[in-house]
Structure 1
Amino acid sequence: MKYLLSIFVFLLCFVSQAQEINWMSFNEALEAQKKEPKKIFMDVYTDWCGPCKLLDKRTFHNKDVVDYVNKHYYAVKFNGEGTEEIRYNNFTYTNPNHNPNRKGRNSQHFFANALKITGYPSMVFFDENAKLIAPVVGFKTPQQLEIYLKMIQSDDYKKLTTAAAWQKYEKSFVGTFSN
């Protein structure tokens, strides 16, 4: 009986850990869009950012978030202070001032700068043609992130042209994501 219980616990842990967002690079997402147009959801993080780590652990491992993002978006992980070369809109973005020996904060990647990233974490949305929609700055719980994921995916954001329209939308939104 103990043996069966051990196997059950192992399988339960394995299944719960196996639920992950299918992260890719931005360049990979742009290539994927050419074959199958989908919006892009980008997590812009840094290695030193505590709220980024919390977002990864608490929000990006939530089953509802994982399922929704994997179904409706190309998910991108992008280090806002990293060295990845990004090819976007006929321009190559790099981080020539990155210092690999530096601990903590580093220079901001030119692509993060072009996206006007003002804080970490930031989640950035792009449409099916890789056109920038909007960044959302700061840690979000699964329930807080849900409204953005669904509003962008459904194109409702296009109708929300005033603060009053956003407030009305936010007030009437009924979420379904669990804790």
Structure 2
Amino acid sequence: MRKLFIVAFTLLWISTNAQKIEWMTLEKAVEAQKTNPKKIFIDAYTVWCGPCKMLDKNTFGNKDVAKYINENYYPVKFNAEGNETINFQGKTYKNPGFNPNTSGRNSSHELSGYFGVRAYPTMLFLDESANFLTPITGYQTPRQLEIFLKIFATDDYKNIKSQEEFGEYTTNFKHEFVE
């Protein structure tokens, strides 16, 4: 009985202390920037994308990644082939070709085109005024994503002018996230 109690308590403690990303809509993120300026991090995914699911489980499920994103960004989850109507920067974006009867690939959302999303997953970084900074395409492990999360959150990207300087930055980068 005592062992069962310890196991139950441990599982409860783990589940209540697990860090999760506090995803929000793009509209809410832009609104939040008005009172507390932070950059926006967007996960552009699709429902059929295997690497997107791996990113959710392995990378976004990592407590270090989740904690860092929650503290330094407004995180947005965006279905790049979804049917959501999104108001952004004075324009309304939709997916006019969306087919609700499709279980696989669908047409691309207009906002995907605005950001130039061509592959999934794509992570998008926006500055404190919701201006587009850059996309990062493809699956990233927690430690791979850590470099990008920190380079933008700290504004270090502003001091990097070439591929060589970026290579030097990544070579000297001190990882803190645990895989």
Deviations 1:82-114 (A, max 9, x none): 011121221111101100001200000000111
Match of 1:74 in 2: 74
Instruction: Name whichever of 78-87 and 51-60 sits farther off.
Output: 78-87
Closer/same/farther in 2, CA of residues 155 and 101 from structure 1, 3 Å limit: same
Say whether 1:167 aligns with 2:147: no
Question: Displacement of 1:8 after TM fit?
Answer: 2.0
Deviations 1:7-38 (A, max 9, x none): 3233134235x420000011110111112111
Question: Counterparts of 1:83-98 in structure 2 under 5 Å?
Answer: 83-98=83-98
Match of 1:129 in 2: 129
Alignment partner of 2:143: what SS? Answer: helix
TM-score normalised over the length of structure 2: 0.95
Paired-residue identity, %: 47
Deviations 1:101-132 (A, max 9, x none): 01200000000111001110010000000000
Q: Which AA in structure 2 matches 1:109?
A: H
> How many angstroms apart in 1 are the aligned matches of 2:11 and 2:143?
29
TM-score normalised over the length of structure 1: 0.95
> How many angstroms apart in 1 are the aligned matches of 2:54 and 2:171?
26
Match of 2:8 in 1: 7
Question: Counterparts of 1:37-76 in structure 2 under 5 Å?
Answer: 37-76=37-76
| Structure 2 unaligned spans of 5+ | none
| Structure 1 unaligned spans of 5+ | none
